[in-house]
Amino acid sequence: MQIFLVMHKIKIVLVYFFVICNFRCKWNIEIRHQIFWIIKKRAMRKVDIKVSLEYMVGYATKSLREVNLLI
């Protein structure tokens, strides 16, 4: 069960990461915020994994900033 939860969290963050990497244009900033809030709402529903999800999303966002600077 624990392994399943970890894999599920990693899958969500990877999807978030790759979707946002594809939205490089400035007009897509709104879409980025929508995706972030969808993930945040999911995390709020499952209080036990909320902290780790927010941490992982924050880490993915930080990585994306670095990626966008390189592009």
pLDDT of 70 higher than 50: no
Amino acid in position 61: T
* Boundaries of every domain in the chain: 2-70
* Ranges of H-type helices in the chain: 2-22, 29-45, 47-70
> What are the pLDDT digits (tens) for 2-24?
566 666 666 666 666 666 655 55
pLDDT tens by residue, 22-67: 555 554 566 666 666 766 666 555 554 555 555 666 666 665 565 5
- Return all residues near 12 (Cβ < 8 A) that are at least 6 apart: 39, 42, 53, 56
CA gap 28, 25 in Å, rounded: 6
Q: What are phi and psi of 23, to 5 degrees?
A: -95, 80
Check residue 60 and give its pLDDT: 61
